[in-house]
Every structure is written in C-alpha cells, then in structure tokens.
C-alpha cells in the first residue's frame, strides 16, 4: 500500500462539511459545559444551544480534547493506511488543544507533525485546507510514480519530506491570514479569560462597540466604535482593505446573527475584486461561548501558491 498523508484538526476550524469529506479530514471535538452537563462541539451541542444558554446567563465553559482523544484519532488514521499525519489546531494562546495533540503524537507508530496555527475559526480552517490540498497533490504524485517501496528507510525519508512540505503550506497561509471581529459585549471574553479585565471594563464604561483581531495568537482590541452599525461598517472596510486586489478566500462568521452575516457577505462579494471562495458560517459552541450572541467576524485568507 502506498499510504496517504492524513489531516487532523479540531472543531474550532468550522470547516465546510463538503471540504472535510473531500479531503478526509479528521475533526477532533473540543468540549462545552453548560452548567454541569458536558457536550462534544459539533456533535452534541449546537451554536443555538449555546446562544440560548448565554442569554439565560447560564455558566458555559470550554475545554480541550484529552491527549487520549488525539491518540485515538491518530491510530484510526494509521489503521486506515496513513503514512504520516499533519495535525493543525487553534492558537495555543487560546487553548491547550495543540499541547494535547503534541502529547499524543509521541504515542503512535507513524510520524505526526503538530502545527499551532495561532488562529481560530476559518482562519485556522484556511490553513487546514491549504495543507490538505498539498497533501492530496503529493499523494497523487506518489501514486503516479509508484515504484517498489521495499526500502523502508527511503520510504520513511520521502514521508518526512512530504510532511515538511505540508506543514510549510499551512504555516505560509497562517502568516498571511487575518481575522477581525465585532462583539456586542466584551463580557463573555472577559469571563473566559480571553481578554483582560481592564480592557473589558473600559469598553463597558464607555459604551463602545469593540472591534477586535487575532494578533500573535491572541484576541486583541483593534478599534473602538460608538454604535453597532458603525462598527459593522468599519469591519467591512477593514476586510476590504486587507483583501486588496489579491485572490482571497473570505469567511463571514456569526453567532445568532445570520441576516447581518449574509448582508455583510453580499457587500464583500461586491467590493472585493478577487474573491475565490466566500463562506458564511455560524461559529460553533466553543467560540460562541467566548464571544456571545451577535458576533460578526471576517476572515481574509489570501491564496498562497505552493513552491512545490
């Protein structure tokens, strides 16, 4: 058997199901606790459930997958014929998920490369897709030039080289991908420890509508705007500026704000000249727990040509 390169990510990538199926990507769920009940994101709890819990002021917390969960995913990939695995995850500044993946990587019989994307949502998802597309291309090229692979050491070296290339594809896209978002309140981010208490209090005291972005793997304030309508207009302007004239994929994320998200996506489609793919996606329960209902986010992911 020639073997294939397997891709693993976590449930905060919010990838379109069609892409998950096409590239055979394994998605490991994070956990969401509402009160004393624990659910697997994307399997047992919906964004609507979390939005309702937050509106009811119920306690909502999140947690990483266990190393054992990753070990099971990696072993399943190996048993399905994978010769190597690239496992790409949300920012280690926001979650211990990548750390759990790294602990598991040492326990399986095939090589596993763990990548901290320093991103989340479809910013992470765009990196996974770049890696998956290259992995598919490398597997196809390997199949076309199939030779006697009885030389185990040569086969191992080829797999290591291929894994390096796939990791590089993910990292190159991560370097150019940006995420910007608007939240109705910073309170949910403050409760979850994802933004400083002082920043949250200033926002509340001034009654401003905050715009935030992903910077260095963390959620950081970007601008303060006085009204929701102005904040959303400014979010649109920032996305257009970052997209420029280059070919880009754009994702508009939301939580319990579908109409606003669809309207924003339509305006971006008209204003960004070189949109490749444009997705509208409700964030899942894990991110929803930290941002609250009313979230609008835009991910701008330029297409990066592979040097290979």
pLDDT tens-digit readout, 219-247? 888 888 888 899 999 999 999 999 999 99
Confidence class for position 205, pLDDT limits 50, 70, 90 = very low
Full-model pTM: 0.91
Task: Say if residue 305 is exposed, middle or buried (CB neighbours under 10 Å; 0-12, 13-18, 19+).
Answer: exposed
Q: Residues 251, 191, 27, 44: is their CA dihedral positive or negative?
A: negative
Q: What mean pLDDT comes out for the span 299-304?
A: 95
Whole-number percent of the chain with pLDDT over 70: 89
pLDDT over 90 (residue 288): no
Render pLDDT for 107-163 as a digit per residue (tens, 0 to 9): 999 999 999 999 999 999 999 999 999 999 999 988 887 655 556 777 888 899 999
From the centroid of its chain, how far is CA 70?
17
**Mean pLDDT score across all residues of the chain:** 89
The single residue listed with the structure tokens 């996606």 is 281
Question: Which of helix, strand or coil describes residue 87?
Answer: strand
Q: How far apart are the first and last CA of the chain?
A: 24
């Amino acid at each position: 058997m020639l073997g294939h390169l397997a891709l693993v990510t976590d449930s905060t990538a919010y990838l379109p199901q069609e892409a998950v199926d096409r590239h055979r990507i394994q998605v490991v769920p994070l956990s969401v606790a509402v009160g004393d009940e624990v659910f697997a994101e994307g399997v047992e709890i919906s964004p609507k459930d979390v939005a309702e819990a937050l509106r009811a002021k119920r306690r909502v917390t999140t947690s990483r997958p266990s190393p054992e969960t990753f070990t099971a995913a990696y072993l399943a990939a190996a048993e399905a014929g994978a010769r190597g695995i690239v496992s790409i995850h949300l920012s280690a500044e926001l979650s211990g998920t990548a750390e759990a993946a790294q602990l598991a990587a040492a326990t399986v019989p095939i090589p596993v490369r763990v990548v901290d994307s320093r991103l989340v949502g479809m910013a992470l998802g765009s990196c996974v897709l770049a890696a998956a597309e290259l992995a598919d291309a490398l597997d196809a090229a390997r199949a076309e030039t199939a030779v006697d692979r009885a030389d185990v050491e040569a086969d191992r070296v080829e797999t290591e080289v291929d894994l390096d290339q796939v990791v590089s594809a993910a990292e190159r896209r991560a370097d150019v991908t940006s995420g910007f978002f608007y939240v109705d309140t910073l309170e949910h981010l403050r409760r979850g420890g994802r933004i400083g208490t002082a920043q949250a209090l200033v926002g509340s005291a001034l009654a401003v509508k905050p715009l935030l972005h992903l910077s260095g793997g963390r959620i950081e304030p970007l601008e303060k705007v006085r009204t929701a309508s102005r904040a959303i207009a400014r979010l649109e302007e920032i996305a257009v500026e970052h997209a420029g004239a280059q070919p880009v994929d754009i994702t508009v994320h939301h939580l319990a704000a579908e109409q606003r998200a669809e309207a924003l996506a339509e305006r971006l489609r008209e204003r960004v000249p070189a949109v490749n793919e444009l997705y509208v996606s409700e964030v899942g329960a894990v991110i929803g727990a930290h941002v609250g209902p009313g979230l609008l986010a835009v991910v701008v992911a330029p297409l990066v040509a592979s040097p290979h």
